[in-house]
Structure 1
């Protein structure tokens, strides 16, 4: 029954126009409350999942791409790759 509550509250929140992140949080809190579990367990699991170093690579990768774009190196890399393969079909994909 807790699963149906979780999915139902999530669907309801999304249908009324709440952001997905808030919908996930509200539905998780509702499911924890229904099952009688302490909310501290959920918060501990969230913090333990966030502290993984692999998840830090995602924002750093985006930041590096943004730096390359604004610094102009991205355009130069694309021009170099196009010069390296010429007019070969799928050339940029081959270079990557």
Structure 2
């Protein structure tokens, strides 16, 4: 079985997510916070759902029939900064989150 670990993706839940992120509950404030923390490293935008879907289609196809037990990060390379930050002793990581790994 394979899986994906998606980065910031615009979906029907995006506005709710932005509301929760803002202390005021204002989705615009939440959007700005998320963009400031994460989207600068994600090419300035969140992914579209199909940008998560197509890699899943490929992973489930005969093209990848010998690929098994893998987790594919689809996050515009953001996760690659986590290990680098950990190696450099930066517990905050590239985007403010530390991931053990």
Question: What is the TM-score with the length of structure 2 in the denominator?
Answer: 0.25
Which of the two has greater helix per residue? 1
Bigger proportion of residues as strand: 2
User: In terms of Rg, which structure is larger?
Assistant: 1
Q: Which has the higher contact order (CA 8 A, sep 6+)?
A: 2
